[in-house]
Structure 1
Amino acid sequence: MRIAIVGGTGFIGQALIHYLLEQGDQVVLFSRSADVYRSDPNFKHVQVVSWPPQGQPDCLAGTEAVVNLAGETINQRWTARAKQRIFTSRVETTRHLVRLIREQKLKPKVLVNASAIGYYGTSFEDVFTEESGPGTDFLAKVTQAWEQEAVQAVPLGVRVIRMRLGVVLGKSGGALEKMLLPYRLYIGGTVGSGRQWVSWVHIQDVVRAIRFAISNPDLDGPVNVTAPHPVQMKTFGKTAAKVLGRPYWLPAPGFALKLLLGEMSGLILKGQCVKPDKLLKTGFKFQFPRLEEALRDLV
């Protein structure tokens, strides 16, 4: 299968490219730094195309699926300027991508557009599935606008999957190293109240879920990509301490995180409990359904 990826040079994108090549797929990478990646040995088996494509009206010719992972990282202090970058990078890239699909004579069959479980807002009590409504905070508004751009491809005859990603755990990027650092330094403990939910997922299950969604015509619309067993933060911390052989004792008070991270601290101090109902109902098997086995694989 020939699969095009926008935003494929980040943490998830590189893992996805590696996995797709292992499956025997052909990969086309769209990048703003195409010249750099054409000479990068890590991308030697990938066709690299400049983004946005200029003078290449048929650049998606023969492509069966497009995966859009582009977007400014949310792992930063949410200043007014940063929030604008987070919003614009997702919405404008998706809008441009849909416009590109519209221009193709032979359109791809499926668009997998990254999104986030931030769509649902935060809660200590609620359990969110794909049937749940949106939240009202900043990240919920970003994901709603992001997804709205992606669904503009539906009238073009393209199956659109909105992949709402949880906290992705991996060795070479994402949030895991920062989350484990206090435990490595023997100062790990309860973060905030400890009651907030962490809807996590192993990077290997993320890339497998993307490939599964591309191949499975029964999947469309919103799809939660989280492990089937989310945990509360206190359980995450105790499990991390156990796996690392470290103590679990020093609390990180909520007010300190608010001072350090500002508005973004809400992601850590509140969280949400999200279940991957659609993936489970369509037969997807998680390689790492439980936190301890995922952490032992990664650390």
Structure 2
Amino acid sequence: MKVAIAGGTGFVGRAFINELLKNDHQVIILTRSLENKKETKNIRYVKWLSSHSEPEKELQDVDAFVNLAGESLNSGRWTDERKRQIIESRVSSTRETIRIMGELLRKPSVFMNASAIGCYPVSYEETFTESSNTTSESFLSKTVDVWEAEAHQAERLGIRTVMTRFGVILGKEEGALPRMALPYKLFAGGRIGSGKQWMSWIHVHDVARALLFIMEYPQMKGPVNLTSPSPERLDTLGKTLADVLHRPHWLPVPAFAIKLTLGEMSTLVLDGQRVLPEKLTAHSFTFQFPRLKEALEDIYK
């Protein structure tokens, strides 16, 4: 298949592209700048979201369109301006992918748009699946609502549309794990807040494999949770991380200190949901890393 990807140079994008190339797919990466971009037999670049760019002219034969673009949630304190940028980056990239697909004479068979499990309410007790209520007043939930509403416009074009709701993606160099691991490496790791908050995690390699699985499985559409089948409470995750890194788990960080430091962004650390990948398991997707300890051992092997 020929796959167009927006956000292909990010953490998830690079892992997904590697998985596509391993399976002999062709990749077209949408980028704002063509400078220093090296093309290969199965990778080429197309300019978008910049003046005078007309990506639709070079995407007429794509079979799948994947949008992973969006401003990072954890790269700065959530001021009003920062929150505006987070929402606008997601809406504008999704809106542009819809416009491009509308211009294509032959539509792609599938459109996959990044989303997040932040759409589900915060809870210590409930379990959420794709069929659960997503009504919440949080900034993350409202962001996902707007984001997914934009992505749904692809259905009007007769394109199978999937919202991939990412959990906390674990990888060695990027994502949340390096920040979580740093205190342990400094022998200062411990419980964060109550420690009872759920962490619905997934290994980055399983994310890439799941995206390919969804792309090639025509029955899958709508929201799909990309989380492991075994979420853990944050304190358990910390203890497991400490064990894998051969470090102590002893120094607690109180919730008020995190709120003072991060402000509203502290919800990324202090709140959580127990989210299960019901659709993936129902369609017999096999996780390479279904358990936390084996995922962390692979990352830090």
Aligned partner of 2:104: which letter?
A: Q
Which moves more between the two structures, 130-139 or 81-90?
A: 130-139
Structure-2 residue corresponding to 1:48 = 45
Distance of 1:97 and 1:184 partners within structure 2: 41
CA distances 1:245-276 after superposition (whole Å, capped 9, x unpaired): 11111001000100111101112111111000
Displacement of 1:56 after TM fit?
A: 4.5
Contact 1:34–1:51, Cα closer than 8 Å, also in 2: no
Displacement of 1:104 after TM fit?
A: 0.7
Distance of 1:270 and 1:25 partners within structure 2: 38
Displacement of 1:33 after TM fit?
A: 2.0
Equivalenced residue count is 296
1:18 has 2:15 as partner? no
Contact 1:60–1:108, Cα closer than 8 Å, also in 2: no
Distance of 1:44 and 1:174 partners within structure 2: 29
Structure-1 residue corresponding to 2:276 = 275
TM-score, normalised on structure 2? 0.96
Structure-1 residue corresponding to 2:247 = 246
CA distances 1:60-101 after superposition (whole Å, capped 9, x unpaired): 222110110000000121111110110000011101110110
Aligned partner of 2:64: which letter?
A: A
Structure-1 residue corresponding to 2:5 = 5
Displacement of 1:55 after TM fit?
A: 3.6
Contact 1:111–1:159, Cα closer than 8 Å, also in 2: yes
Contact 1:120–1:133, Cα closer than 8 Å, also in 2: yes
Structure 1 residue matching 2:37: 3-state secondary structure: helix
Structure-1 residue corresponding to 2:227 = 226
Structure 1 residue matching 2:294: 3-state secondary structure: helix
Aligned partner of 2:185: which letter?
A: R
Aligned partner of 2:177: which letter?
A: L
Matched ranges for 1:178-257 at <5 A: 178-257=179-258
Aligned partner of 1:49: which letter?
A: V
Aligned partner of 2:203: which letter?
A: H
Distance of 1:85 and 1:280 partners within structure 2: 35
Aligned partner of 1:29: which letter?
A: I
CA distances 1:194-230 after superposition (whole Å, capped 9, x unpaired): 0000000000000000000000011000000000000
Residues 1:88 and 1:187: Cα distance change in structure 2 (over 3 Å): same
Contact 1:223–1:276, Cα closer than 8 Å, also in 2: yes
CA distances 1:113-171 after superposition (whole Å, capped 9, x unpaired): 00000011311111110011212200100011101111101011100000000000012
Structure-2 residue corresponding to 1:127 = 127
Unaligned residue ranges in structure 1 (runs of 5+): none
Structure-1 residue corresponding to 2:101 = 101
Displacement of 1:25 after TM fit?
A: 0.5
Residues 1:186 and 1:27: Cα distance change in structure 2 (over 3 Å): same
Structure-2 residue corresponding to 1:71 = 70
Contact 1:121–1:139, Cα closer than 8 Å, also in 2: no
Distance of 2:55 and 2:247 partners within structure 1: 54
Aligned partner of 1:96: which letter?
A: E
Q: How well do the aligned residues superpose, as a CA RMSD in angstroms?
A: 1.3
Distance of 2:177 and 2:104 partners within structure 1: 39
Matched ranges for 1:79-118 at <5 A: 79-118=79-118
Distance of 1:115 and 1:123 partners within structure 2: 19
Which moves more between the two structures, 43-52 or 230-239?
A: 43-52
Residues 1:44 and 1:180: Cα distance change in structure 2 (over 3 Å): farther
Residues 1:114 and 1:236: Cα distance change in structure 2 (over 3 Å): same
Structure 2 residue matching 1:36: 3-state secondary structure: coil
